[in-house]
Amino acid sequence: MNAQQDKNIMEYETVALDDADSALVVLDQTKLPTTAELIRLHTAQEIRDAIYLLKVRGAPAIGVAAAFGIYLLAKGIDAEDYDTFYRKFRAYKDYLNSARPTAVNLSWALNRMERVCEDNRALPVAEIKQRLKETAVAMKEEDIRVCRAIGEHGLTLVKPGDGILTHCNAGQLAACRYGTATAPIYLGQERGYHFHVFADETRPLLQGARLTAYELLAAGVDVTLICDNMCASVMRNGQINAVFVGCDRVAANGDVANKIGTSVVATVAKRYNVPFYVCAPTSTIDRDTPTGADIEIEQRPAHEVTDMWYEKPMAPAGVKVFNPAFDVTDSDLITGIVTEYGVMRAPYTEAFKELFRSRQSL
């Protein structure tokens, strides 16, 4: 089944709780763009595997999936007393949290769910489970509001007709709606901005080709797919007015971890004076991580580079492969970090301190 022949991909929910409150339903992103398949996840292993195997991926979507996932697992815990319930909850939490290390939204979401347990420990376990559900549902709704706000702030940085380059997929498929890096693009589309978007294919897992190009095309955006090594060419030709990317973790000093290759785009953008913007919900800002050097970078299996997506292996058997999933972009390459509260500018340490001081509730 071609997803486009069925219904528009923009009408699918990336992450949802099913109506019977019994399964986490995710759109399997490993099958896109050819097949749109919703998969139902019940067990801890199914949920962790779906995150590790990138069936659900992108920092915000991982966070919401983890929140629904831990709720479902908590719901199934057969214990009346808080201590037994909490011990089992913690085991599930640690297990899900081990799926991927770089995107802070995974631990951020699980920590928030754990706080629901701790803050309500005096309540009956059944009531705690209900609060967990309410929190997970609220996190999904928040994600949509936050992404839309990022879109509004991002839109102030560009003008109609601009060329925009993006890397990886920080789109609707990586979140619950709008995406982060794509939010200004979608809002601009609604308002007749006629952007020309260039999507890096994003080796090795092709999130740009399979997902970003696909969802933008489905939304009617003028999108052109380019190989990762073409970004210098389009910038030098003057086709790009701004770069928007998402991110997996922002360190306290403004260094940013995002999909491998992002730092190349940022370096090239600096060379050609193209503003480079990182779109980041405040949930992705990790004040406990001082600099980019302190961010754990996920290493992925070799076959993703040598075999995956090819009909036949495209590398000699046994060759050594280095496959980090993310890289760090130094803060001095970043023109601005677009959050739901506005555009942060360097020096980021001070900008974040001020942001979190003025938003005590964050």
* Residues making contact with ligand MRU (CB under 6 A): 54, 57-60, 103, 168, 170, 174-175, 179-180, 207, 246-248, 258-259, 325
Nearer to ligand MRU, 16 or 128 (CB): 16
Q: Please, which residues bridge with residue 329 across strands?
A: 256
Cα separation, 132 vs 117, in Å, equals 8
Nearer to ligand MRU, 172 or 241 (CB): 172
User: In whole angstroms, how close is the CB of 83 to ligand MRU at the nearest point?
Assistant: 35
User: In whole angstroms, how close is the CB of 53 to ligand MRU at the nearest point?
Assistant: 11
User: In whole angstroms, how close is the CB of 279 to ligand MRU at the nearest point?
Assistant: 7
Tokens 């190349």 found at? 264
Nearer to ligand MRU, 61 or 117 (CB): 61
Compute, in degrees rounded to 10, the torsion defined by CA atoms 209, 211, 216, 219: 140
SS3 316: coil
Nearer to ligand MRU, 132 or 211 (CB): 211
User: In whole angstroms, how close is the CB of 336 to ligand MRU at the nearest point?
Assistant: 16
Using an 8 Å Cβ cutoff, are 62 and 106 in contact? yes
User: In whole angstroms, how close is the CB of 330 to ligand MRU at the nearest point?
Assistant: 17
Cβ atoms < 10 Å from Cβ of 320:
6
User: What distances in angstroms separate CA 193 from CA 187, 189, 235, 344, one per listed residue?
Assistant: 9, 6, 20, 24
Cα separation, 83 vs 242, in Å, equals 52
Strands 256-259 and 249-251, sheet pairing: antiparallel
**Which residues in 268-300 are b (16+ Cβ under 10 Å) and which e?**
bbbeeebbbbbbbbbbbbbeebeebeebebbeb
Residue with the shortest CB distance to ligand MRU:
246
Using an 8 Å Cβ cutoff, are 337 and 280 in contact? yes
User: In whole angstroms, how close is the CB of 1 to ligand MRU at the nearest point?
Assistant: 23
Nearer to ligand MRU, 54 or 355 (CB): 54
Nearer to ligand MRU, 17 or 147 (CB): 147
Catalytic residues: 248
Residue type, 62: I
User: What distances in angstroms separate CA 4 from CA 7, 32, 61, 317, one per listed residue?
Assistant: 6, 10, 22, 37
